Amino acid sequence: MGGMSGPYVIRGSVSLPEAELMWRFSRSSGPGGQHVNTSDSQVELRFDLAATEALPPVWKQRALERLAGRLVGGVLTVRASEHRSQWRNRETAAVRLASLLAEATAPPPKPRRPTRIPRGINERRLREKKQRGDTKRGRSGRDWG
């Protein structure tokens, strides 16, 4: 297979195992030339997420939870048919799968710690509010004496 770049890195030292990728090729729908009916340029890439050993267990758990809606029997499927050449579609599909997994296995964001407003700032705000209110009150014509 010429032109295929090496292993698709998900994150850090973890990459997609070439052996566990299941490829299917079929004819793309859509326009094309005379060649289109004979070339299987659409690529379908399937990756058995439930059975893989390539991901650390924690990542795998995360990915299974986050991609639950996309999985069919624990298998993640990615399709690519935008390019007219099959190997460009293979590249696209593999990159897409890698980024999907990278996103799904990312650690959850750190919880937000609420910050406290310093007392001085709060007091100043209240003082300014009060002043403004007094100014406005002084505008009305009647005597506040």
Amino acid 123: pLDDT: 94
Q: What is the pLDDT of residues 36-62, one digit of tens each?
A: 666 777 888 888 777 777 777 777 777
pLDDT: is 139 or 29 the higher one?
Answer: 139
Amino acid 125: pLDDT: 94
Q: Once rounded to an integer, what is the mean pLDDT over residues 10-37?
A: 70
Q: Which of 33, 41, 52, 32 is nearest to 105 (CA)?
A: 52
Does this model's pTM top 0.75? My answer is no
pLDDT: is 62 or 138 the higher one?
Answer: 138
Q: What is the pLDDT of residues 110-121, one digit of tens each?
A: 898 888 888 999
Amino acid 102: pLDDT: 79
Give dist(CA 88, CA 142) in Å, integer.
81
Residue 71 structure tokens = 């999985």
**Residues 6+ positions from 14 with CB-CB distance below 8 Å:** 54, 55, 56, 59
| Residue whose pair of structure tokens reads 């299917």 in the numeric block | 24
| In contact, 33 and 19? CB cutoff 8 Å | no
Amino acid 124: pLDDT: 94
